[in-house]
Structure formats: structure tokens, C-alpha cells
């Protein structure tokens, strides 16, 4: 009876138990958040065979640092931030000679608004619109709007001047609004 | 074409779209009448909110399309985590002979408290804490056990069972000098409609 009910517990209790060393509680968190973390990693790294590894590393790091998580209710966004750092490390390693944060100027494909407009749900429209953004814009946008990083945190994480981050986010914002306006 | 193709300050009563996003981030505080009173700005603020929510929602939707975590993969993750990193302080036990320095980890003691608390029907332990210098043999300590309890009329009696159970388990299996066991109810759980009260077999005795 008690083993089953662990899965019903909220994040705060599970993170607390995990921090106290309860592997079974941590296992529930792994089950609960692996799909979300995989989806995030897939969006950031593409569909590679690295997804399993990077999510695994995220949980291992999280376990080691659980005592540094001040607010156990925030375990979900905390896991996403750990993962986002690991993904950036992979991207850096993958293309060390490439500038990870290159300023892309390519405009969205001409038929992008049509494809967004044809989406069956608002979520699918956003997914399509995001895929149209140049990579640096998309990365900044996700860090700002999904992971709730501040401008300064993004700048530090990407090793960019804050003014550049602001510029990228400004363009991402306009692109997203224009692309999403076609969807009703 | 909608108004929102116009996202430059000239179209937004002098405000840039980025100023408007910052205004939202600040909780629209302090109030700016030139934004609050501008239909063009209100329109743009609504559009910013829409794309924000859609971006968050699209990740949740993508997560629903992912397969559940694979069992053998979960096993691999658990095999790779280090139990030592959560084991806490070393807590001395009373030596049986001069040369012995037996210890129990704080993690093992917490685990004992969790097992004992979870063993009380309708209780799940959230966190537990040993307050005091547990690294000193027979130094007085307080134990704080935070629990989630199934809501109902007997919360106080149930908390009492946790208190006495934990005190007894610690007396039997450690040499801690426990001054008090505080049980804090942190959370109420919904009663399980088909509660079967089979007991866990997590109660093996160690001597």
C-alpha cells in the first residue's frame, strides 16, 4: 500500500525524501519528469541517441545536489535548468569550432506562417513557430520563457554580452508573435 | 493583416515590444498609464502572453508524446547514483570494546525513521531531521519528523503513533539520546477509496 502511494505524493515531499536519501522517492521523480526532460533535450539537441545519457546525467547531478535545492516545490524547473546546462555543454563539445551563439539572420521560411496556421492546436502552432526561429533566438527564447532565466543568467550561461541576449530575445519575440498571429 | 504586424514603437504609442515584455515581467508594476491606457499596447501585451503560454504548453505537449521512462534505463540511473552523497553525518554507536569505533550513518537513521513512520497506516514521512550534535556519543538531540497524513478524525492519534514508534525504533537500534520526537503534519493526503491495509515487509530487524 505504501509503495503505491509514494507515486501520489507531490514534488515537495518527494524531493524532501530524496534529499534525505530515499532512493524510492527519487525513482518516482525520475518517472514523473523523464518525458518532460526528454522533450526538452530533444528540442535542444535534436533526436539523437544522446538523449538518454543527458537525462541520466541530469538526474545523477540532481541527486548529488539535492541539499542545495532551497525550495523543494521547484524541483521541476530546477531539473530543467540542470538539463539545460548539460545540453549546452554537449552543443559546445559538438561544435567547438562553431560559435554556439552565432547571430543568425536567416529569416523564417516563406511558408512558415502557413504551416503555423495549419496547426491543429495552439501547442503545435508554437512548436512549429519555434522550429522556424534561428537557433540562437530559439535557445534564448526557451531559456527566458520556459526556464524563466533572467537576461543576466542567460548572458552568463551562453557567455554573451547582455545586450546581445536582449537583441536576440527581441527578434525572437517579434518572430514568435508574428508567426503565432496566423493561428486561430 | 492584423495590427500585430506592427510591432515597432511608432505603432505602440512610443513603446517597444521589449519594454512591454519587461513591464509584464515586473508584474505591470509600477503602473504606467501610457501603457495601461493604450489599446495598441494592451493588444501587444496580450500577444506576448499568448506566445509565452503557448511556448510552455508546447513543451508539456511534447512531453506527453514521449514514451514513459524505460524500466531498465531507470535501473541504470539508480545504479549510478551515489548513496554516499546523501548519507550525512557519521553517528557513533556505543563501542563493545576499546578498539571499536562503530558508527551508523545519518542516512541510515533517517531511513529507519522513514520506514517506521511509513509503517503507520495512513502516514508517509516527508522529511526528517536530527537536531543536535549527533557526532558526539550520547549528546542530547531532537528528532523532527515531517509527515503527510491521510485526512480524517484521528490525525492527532496517528501522529502520536509515529512519535512513539520512532522513539522506540531509535532506542532499539541506535545509541542516540533522544530528548524529544516532534511530529509535524505538513500535508494531508486524500483518503484512498480502496484502502487495503496490508503491511509492508520493510520491518526486518537488524541487531
Distance CA B132, CA B109 (A): 14
Residue A166 sits at the chain B interface (C-beta within 8 Å): yes
Distance CA B49, CA B25 (A): 10
Examine the domain organization and report whether A121 and A140 are in the same domain: yes
Distance CA B163, CA B152 (A): 18
Segments forming the whole domain that contains residue A144: 99-184
Q: At which of A81, A98, A115 does a domain end?
A: A98
Distance CA A21, CA B107 (A): 6
Examine the domain organization and report whether A17 and A30 are in the same domain: yes
pLDDT at A113 over 90: no
Q: How far is B196 from chain A (nearest CA, A)?
A: 7
Distance CA B62, CA B42 (A): 30
Examine the domain organization and report whether A146 and A60 are in the same domain: no
Q: Per-residue pLDDT tens for A31-58? A: 999 999 999 999 888 888 899 999 999 9
pLDDT for B75 equals 96
A166: domain CATH number is: 1.10.10.10
Examine the domain organization and report whether A3 and A91 are in the same domain: yes
B58, A130 Cβ separation under 8 angstroms: yes
Q: At which of A55, A76, A98 does a domain end?
A: A98
What torsion, rounded to 10 degrees, do the Cα atoms A15, A17, A19, A23 define?
-100
pLDDT for B12 equals 92
A181, A171 Cβ separation under 8 angstroms: no
Examine the domain organization and report whether A2 and A93 are in the same domain: yes
Examine the domain organization and report whether A170 and A79 are in the same domain: no
User: What mean pLDDT is predicted for residues A53-77?
Assistant: 93
State which residues of chain B have pLDDT below 70: 1-5, 192-207
Question: Mean pLDDT score of chain A, rounded to an integer?
Answer: 86
Examine the domain organization and report whether A160 and A174 are in the same domain: yes
Give residue B1's Cα distance to chain centre: 48
Total domains, chain A: 2
pLDDT for A116 equals 85
A43, A129 Cβ separation under 8 angstroms: no
Examine the domain organization and report whether A130 and A52 are in the same domain: no
Q: Per-residue pLDDT tens for B16-60? A: 999 999 999 899 999 999 999 999 999 999 999 999 989 988 999
Whether the model pTM is above 0.90? no
pLDDT for B2 equals 46
Examine the domain organization and report whether A72 and A148 are in the same domain: no
Examine the domain organization and report whether A12 and A86 are in the same domain: yes
A63, B85 Cβ separation under 8 angstroms: yes
C-alpha cell belonging to residue A159: 557567455
Q: How far is B122 from chain A (nearest CA, A)?
A: 8
pLDDT at A184 over 80: no
Chain length of chain A: 184
pLDDT for B194 equals 58
Residue A107 sits at the chain B interface (C-beta within 8 Å): no
Examine the domain organization and report whether A167 and A114 are in the same domain: yes
Q: At which of A43, A74, A98 does a domain end?
A: A98
Examine the domain organization and report whether A113 and A177 are in the same domain: yes
pLDDT at A1 over 60: no
Residue with cell 551515489: B82
- Note which residues in 116-155 of chain B have CB less than 8 A from chain A: 118-119, 124-128, 146, 148
Distance CA A129, CA A176 (A): 6
Q: Per-residue pLDDT tens for A139-176? A: 999 999 988 899 999 999 999 999 999 999 999 999 99
Amino acid at each position: 500500500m505504501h509503495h503505491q502511494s509514494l507515486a501520489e505524493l507531490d514534488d515537495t515531499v518527494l524531493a524532501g525524501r530524496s534529499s534525505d536519501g530515499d532512493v524510492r522517492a527519487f525513482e518516482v521523480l525520475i518517472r514523473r519528469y523523464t518525458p518532460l526532460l526528454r522533450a526538452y533535450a530533444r528540442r535542444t539537441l535534436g533526436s539523437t541517441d544522446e538523449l538518454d545519457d543527458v537525462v541520466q546525467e541530469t538526474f545523477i547531478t540532481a541527486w548529488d545536489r539535492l541539499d542545495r535545492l532551497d525550495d523543494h516545490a521547484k524541483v521541476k524547473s530546477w531539473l530543467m535548468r540542470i538539463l539545460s546546462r548539460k545540453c549546452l555543454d554537449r552543443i559546445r563539445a559538438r561544435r567547438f569550432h562553431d560559435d554556439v551563439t552565432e547571430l543568425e539572420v536567416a529569416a523564417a521560411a516563406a511558408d512558415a506562417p502557413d504551416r503555423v496556421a495549419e496547426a491543429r492546436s495552439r501547442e503545435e502552432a508554437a512548436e512549429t513557430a519555434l522550429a522556424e526561429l534561428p537557433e540562437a533566438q530559439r535557445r534564448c527564447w526557451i531559456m527566458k520563457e520556459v526556464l524563466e532565466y533572467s537576461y543576466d543568467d542567460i548572458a552568463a550561461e551562453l557567455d554573451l554580452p547582455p545586450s546581445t541576449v536582449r537583441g536576440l530575445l527581441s527578434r525572437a519575440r517579434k518572430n514568435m508573435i508574428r508567426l503565432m498571429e496566423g493561428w486561430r | 493583416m492584423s495590427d500585430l504586424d506592427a510591432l515597432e514603437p511608432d505603432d505602440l504609442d512610443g513603446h517597444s515590444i521589449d519594454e512591454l515584455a519587461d513591464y509584464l515581467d515586473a508584474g505591470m508594476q509600477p503602473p504606467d498609464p501610457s501603457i495601461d491606457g493604450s489599446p495598441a499596447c494592451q493588444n501587444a501585451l496580450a500577444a506576448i502572453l499568448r506566445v509565452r503560454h503557448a511556448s510552455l504548453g508546447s513543451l508539456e505537449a511534447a512531453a506527453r508524446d514521449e514514451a514513459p521512462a524505460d524500466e531498465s534505463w531507470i535501473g541504470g540511473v539508480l545504479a549510478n547514483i551515489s548513496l554516499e552523497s546523501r548519507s550525512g553525518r557519521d553517528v557513533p554507536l556505543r563501542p563493545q570494546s576499546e578498539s571499536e569505533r562503530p558508527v551508523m550513518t545519518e542516512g541510515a537513521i533517517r531511513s529507519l525513521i522513514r520506514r517506521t513512520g511509513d509503517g503507520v497506516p495512513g502516514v508517509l514521512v516527508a522529511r526528517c531531521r536530527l537536531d543536535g550534535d549527533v557526532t558526539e556519543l550520547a549528546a542530547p538531540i531532537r528528532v523532527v519528523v515531517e509527515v503527510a497524513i491521510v485526512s480524517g478524525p484521528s490525525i492527532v492519534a496517528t501522529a502520536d503513533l509515529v512519535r512513539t514508534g520512532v522513539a522506540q525504533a531509535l532506542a532499539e537500534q541506535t545509541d542516540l539520546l533522544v530528548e524529544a520526537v516532534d511530529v509535524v503534519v505538513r500535508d494531508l493526503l486524500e483518503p484512498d477509496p480502496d484502502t487495503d491495509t496490508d503491511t509492508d515487509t520493510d520491518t526486518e530487524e537488524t541487531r
